[in-house]
C-alpha cells in the first residue's frame, strides 16, 4: 500500500484545484511554474493515477483527483495551522501579503495604515497594487482586495470595512463668495464639480435627482478633490475621502441632510477554509484602524 509522504506535492495539488490554475498555485506557494508542474507530475507518477487533466485552455480534476482533493484540503489546512501556531509563539508571522486597492483610497488611507502594520509585523512582506480596475484575485495572486460593494463571485468573501456615505462639500472660500445652498434646487445656481468625462450628470439623492449642467467636469476623483479645495465649486465625494479636510476645516459639508449611502467599502479575500495568519492579522488591523473614522461619521 502506497503512503503519500510528498507534502509539497500535496500542497501544490491542493492549490491548483482551489485556484484553478497551476500558475496561480505556483505564485501562491512562492515557487516557479516549472517546479510546481514537475512536483505535481511526480505525485501522479507515484500514485500511478492522473489527478488533473491538462489542456492549453483549462484544467479539470479527475475522479481520483477529486477524492484526493477532499482529503488534501483538511491535511493542508492542519499543516498550515500547525506552522502558524509555531510562528505565532515565536512572534514571527511571515510571508508575502499582496494587496490591491482603488487609487484614491490607497493613497489617502491605505499607505499610512500599511506603514503601521509593517512596523507591527516586520517579517511580513507587502506588495501593494493600486488600480481602479477590478483585478482577478486568483489569476494575479492577490490576497486582499479593497473594493466597493459585494461581488457575486462565489470564490470570494467580503468583510465590511466602511460605509461609503457620499456628501456634498465645498471650501470655506467658495461658500463665502457664492453662499451656501439651502435646497437641492439651488445647486443649479452654483458651480458644481462632477467626476465624469461629460459636462453634465445626474446627482441622485434620497428625495430627488438633480441634473447638473453648469459644471466643472474632471475624470479623476483626486483632481476633483483638489479643485474643491481650491474653491472652484461644490463636489460630491465619499465621506472617507474628504474626512480629514472636513475635520481640518478645509472643506465644509453642504446640505448635510442629503448624504447618500452607496455601495460599502469591503475587504475581499478568497473563500479558503483556512486563511494564513498574515491575512487574518491584516484584516483585523484594517477594520480596527478604520473604525474611528466610521464612528466620527455616525456622530456627525
| Residue from 203, 220, 204 nearest 212 by CA | 203
Phi, psi of 153 (to 5 degrees): -65, 120
Phi, psi of 48 (to 5 degrees): 60, 40
| Residue from 238, 219, 214, 216 nearest 227 by CA | 216
Q: Do both 169 and 203 map to the same domain?
A: yes
Could you say which of 39, 70, 89 is where a domain stops? 89
Expressed as residue numbers, the domain containing 15 is 7-89
The mean pLDDT of 228-246, rounded to a whole number, is 93
Q: Do both 44 and 193 map to the same domain?
A: no
Under a CB-based contact definition with an 8 Å cutoff, are residues 229 and 251 in contact?
yes
Residue 273 lies in a domain: yes
Residue 108 lies in a domain: yes
Residue 130 lies in a domain: yes
Separation between Cα atoms, residue 43 and residue 177, nearest integer Å: 74
Could you say which of 62, 89, 116 is where a domain stops? 89
Predicted confidence at residue 230, as pLDDT, reads: 96
| Residue from 126, 145, 148 nearest 241 by CA | 148
Kind and range of the H or E run holding 244: helix 239-248
Under a CB-based contact definition with an 8 Å cutoff, are residues 244 and 219 in contact?
no
Separation between Cα atoms, residue 100 and residue 133, nearest integer Å: 10
Could you say which of 89, 111, 140 is where a domain stops? 89
Predicted confidence at residue 213, as pLDDT, reads: 81
User: How large is the C-alpha radius of gyration of the chain?
Assistant: 25
Tally of domains within the chain: 3
Separation between Cα atoms, residue 79 and residue 247, nearest integer Å: 48
- Please state whether beta strands 234-238 and 192-195 pair in parallel, antiparallel, or not at all (unpaired): parallel
We report the CATH number of the domain holding residue 169 as 3.40.190.10
Q: Do both 213 and 85 map to the same domain?
A: no
Residue 141 lies in a domain: yes
- At residue 295 the predicted structure's pLDDT band, cuts being 50, 70 and 90, is very low
Predicted confidence at residue 260, as pLDDT, reads: 84
Q: Do both 236 and 179 map to the same domain?
A: yes
Asked if pLDDT for residue 297 goes beyond 60, the answer is: no
Q: Do both 244 and 169 map to the same domain?
A: yes
pLDDT exceeding 70 applies to what percent of the chain? 89
Residue 85 lies in a domain: yes
Q: Do both 20 and 79 map to the same domain?
A: yes
Q: Is the dihedral of CA 13, 17, 18, 22 positive or negative?
A: positive
Under a CB-based contact definition with an 8 Å cutoff, are residues 233 and 194 in contact?
no
Q: Do both 201 and 279 map to the same domain?
A: no
Separation between Cα atoms, residue 65 and residue 71, nearest integer Å: 10
Residue 2 lies in a domain: no
- At residue 256 the predicted structure's pLDDT band, cuts being 50, 70 and 90, is very high
Under a CB-based contact definition with an 8 Å cutoff, are residues 257 and 168 in contact?
no
Write out pLDDT tens, residues 152-173.
Answer: 666 778 888 888 889 999 999 9
We report the CATH number of the domain holding residue 45 as 1.10.10.10
Residue 234 lies in a domain: yes
Q: Which three cell numbers stand for residue 68?
A: 484526493
Write out pLDDT tens, residues 89-132.
Answer: 545 688 889 999 988 889 888 999 999 999 988 989 999 999 87
The mean pLDDT of 36-52, rounded to a whole number, is 88
Q: Do both 142 and 286 map to the same domain?
A: yes
Residue 225 lies in a domain: yes
Residue burial 130-164, b: 16+ Cβ < 10 Å; e: rest: beeeeeebbeebbbbbbbeeebeeeebbbeebbbb
Q: Do both 37 and 79 map to the same domain?
A: yes
Q: Which three cell numbers stand for residue 19?
A: 485556484
Q: Do both 169 and 155 map to the same domain?
A: no
Q: Do both 21 and 133 map to the same domain?
A: no
| Residue from 237, 235, 238 nearest 163 by CA | 238
Q: Do both 188 and 268 map to the same domain?
A: no
Amino acid at each position: 500500500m502506497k503512503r503519500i509522504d510528498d507534502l509539497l506535492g500535496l500542497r501544490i495539488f491542493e492549490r491548483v484545484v482551489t485556484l484553478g490554475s497551476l500558475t496561480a498555485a505556483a505564485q501562491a506557494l512562492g515557487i516557479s511554474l516549472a517546479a510546481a508542474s514537475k512536483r505535481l507530475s511526480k505525485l501522479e507518477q507515484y500514485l500511478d493515477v492522473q489527478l488533473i487533466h491538462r489542456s492549453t485552455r483549462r484544467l479539470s480534476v479527475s475522479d481520483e483527483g477529486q477524492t484526493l482533493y477532499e482529503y488534501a484540503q483538511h491535511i493542508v489546512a492542519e499543516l498550515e495551522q500547525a506552522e502558524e501556531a509555531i510562528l505565532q509563539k515565536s512572534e514571527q508571522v511571515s510571508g508575502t501579503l499582496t494587496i490591491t486597492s482603488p487609487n484614491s483610497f490607497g493613497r489617502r488611507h491605505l499607505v499610512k495604515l500599511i506603514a503601521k502594520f509593517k512596523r507591527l509585523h516586520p517579517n511580513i512582506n507587502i506588495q501593494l497594487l493600486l488600480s481602479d480596475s477590478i483585478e482577478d484575485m486568483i489569476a494575479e495572486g492577490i490576497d486582499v482586495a479593497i473594493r466597493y460593494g459585494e461581488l457575486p463571485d462565489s470564490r470570494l468573501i467580503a468583510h465590511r470595512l466602511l460605509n461609503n456615505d457620499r456628501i456634498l462639500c465645498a471650501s470655506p472660500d467658495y461658500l463665502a463668495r457664492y453662499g451656501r445652498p439651502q435646497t437641492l434646487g439651488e445647486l443649479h445656481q452654483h458651480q458644481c464639480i462632477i467626476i465624469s468625462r461629460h459636462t453634465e450628470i445626474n446627482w441622485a439623492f434620497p428625495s430627488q435627482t438633480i441634473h447638473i449642467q453648469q459644471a466643472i467636469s474632471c475624470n479623476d476623483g483626486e483632481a476633483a478633490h483638489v479643485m474643491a479645495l481650491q474653491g472652484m465649486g461644490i463636489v460630491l465625494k465619499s465621506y472617507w475621502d474628504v474626512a480629514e479636510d472636513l475635520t481640518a476645516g478645509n472643506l465644509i459639508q453642504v446640505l448635510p441632510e442629503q448624504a447618500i449611502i452607496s455601495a460599502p467599502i469591503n475587504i475581499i479575500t478568497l473563500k479558503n477554509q483556512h486563511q494564513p495568519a498574515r491575512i487574518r492579522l491584516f484584516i483585523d488591523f484594517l477594520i480596527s484602524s478604520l473604525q474611528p473614522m466610521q464612528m466620527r461619521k455616525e456622530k456627525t
